[in-house]
């Protein structure tokens, strides 16, 4: 899941970025509305967090420009960040096509919860939790449980697990698994695929993933 954060206050932008990355999202940060518009025209994001007061284009201007453009997927959820007293901003933002808002200063965990909810809604995955054995995986929220206990997976481990579970009963090649990692997380981690598989077996259970030597892996 890729999130674009458009925010010109470095402290806020960094705070959001750090916590989203911890939650396993791939995050891009931009501080200028115009640059954000260009990025949104050329790349695909699953969600945008948008400040209103921005250089280049304001959040409102950006929203209205996006609405008129054809290169933007209008299903992409947008969460706007507004100033404490600016009630008009919230209304205007929602009118301009934002899906939700947070008022500064906000609780970062509430922000994450809203991000999850927006993604769940937009992906239509409200009931689409992947179940296997006693494992439950929510692709939208990145929550994983085993025997109803939460399991903390690193982003790449999560990506590998989802790909294997979505292809249950089929051998998934190493190449395909590696691609899934890049689609889900653009941070460079040096760990090889084998290490992620090893961690998944340890954190879940060892017979979950079988190695098909020279070919790939399978969740039987
Ligand atoms: Ca600002």
CATH number at 173 reads 1.10.10.10
Element (H, E) at 48: strand 47-51
Distance from the alpha carbon of residue 90 to the mean position of ligand 1, in angstroms: 15
- Whole domain around residue 84: which residue ranges? 2-122
Highest mean pLDDT range out of 167-176, 189-198, 202-211?
Answer: 202-211
Q: Do residue 110 and residue 210 come from a single domain?
A: no
Distance from the alpha carbon of residue 109 to the mean position of ligand 1, in angstroms: 20
Q: Do residue 106 and residue 145 come from a single domain?
A: no
Q: Is 5's pLDDT higher than 80?
A: yes
Q: Do residue 115 and residue 56 come from a single domain?
A: yes
Q: Do residue 80 and residue 178 come from a single domain?
A: no
pLDDT tens per residue, range 56-107: 999 999 999 998 998 888 889 999 999 877 778 888 888 888 999 999 999 9
Residue 43 pLDDT class (50, 70, 90 cuts): confident
Count of domains for the chain: 2
Select from 122, 143, 170 the last residue of a domain. Answer: 122
Q: Do residue 150 and residue 95 come from a single domain?
A: no
Rounded Cα–Cα distance for residues 104 and 84 (Å):
6
Q: Do residue 74 and residue 103 come from a single domain?
A: yes
* Higher local confidence (pLDDT), 188 or 70: 70
Strand ranges (E), the chain = 2-6, 26-30, 47-51, 78-82, 100-103, 130-132, 135-138, 143-146, 149-150, 172-173, 210-212, 216-218
Rounded Cα–Cα distance for residues 187 and 190 (Å):
10
| DSSP tag of 189 | -
Distance from the alpha carbon of residue 61 to the mean position of ligand 1, in angstroms: 14
- What pLDDT sits at residue 186? 54
Select from 122, 153, 182 the last residue of a domain. Answer: 122
Distance from the alpha carbon of residue 54 to the mean position of ligand 1, in angstroms: 5
Whose CA is closest to 137, among 117, 164, 112, 119? 164
Supply φ then ψ for residue 138, to 5 degrees. -105, 105
Distance from the alpha carbon of residue 67 to the mean position of ligand 1, in angstroms: 21
Whose CA is closest to 118, among 17, 49, 172, 70? 49
Distance from the alpha carbon of residue 58 to the mean position of ligand 1, in angstroms: 9
Q: What six digits make up the tokens of 195?
A: 């290490």
Distance from the alpha carbon of residue 8 to the mean position of ligand 1, in angstroms: 5
pLDDT tens per residue, range 123-139: 665 456 888 999 999 87
Q: Do residue 39 and residue 89 come from a single domain?
A: yes
Select from 101, 122, 143 the last residue of a domain. Answer: 122
């Amino acid at each position: 899941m890729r999130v674009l954060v458009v925010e010109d206050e470095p402290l806020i932008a960094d705070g959001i970025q750090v916590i989203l990355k911890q939650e396993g999202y791939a995050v891009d940060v931009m501080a200028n509305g115009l640059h954000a518009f260009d990025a949104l025209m050329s790349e695909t994001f699953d969600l945008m967090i948008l400040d209103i007061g921005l250089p280049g284009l304001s959040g409102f201007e950006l929203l209205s420009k996006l609405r008129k453009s054809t290169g933007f997927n209008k299903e992409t959820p947008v969460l706007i960040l507004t100033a404490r007293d600016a009630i008009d901003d919230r209304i205007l933002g929602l009118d301009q096509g934002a899906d939700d808002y947070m008022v500064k200063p906000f609780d970062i965990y509430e922000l994450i919860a809203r991000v999850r909810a927006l993604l769940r809604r937009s992906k239509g995955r409200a009931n689409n939790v992947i179940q296997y054995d006693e494992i439950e995986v929510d692709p939208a929220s990145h929550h994983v449980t085993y025997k109803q206990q939460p399991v903390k997976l690193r982003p790449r481990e999560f990506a590998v697990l989802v790909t294997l579970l979505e292809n249950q009963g089929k051998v998934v090649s190493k190449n395909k698994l590696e691609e899934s990692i890049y689609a889900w997380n653009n941070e460079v981690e040096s760990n090889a695929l084998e290490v992620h598989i090893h961690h998944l077996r340890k954190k879940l259970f060892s017979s979950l993933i079988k190695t098909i030597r020279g070919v790939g892996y399978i969740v039987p």
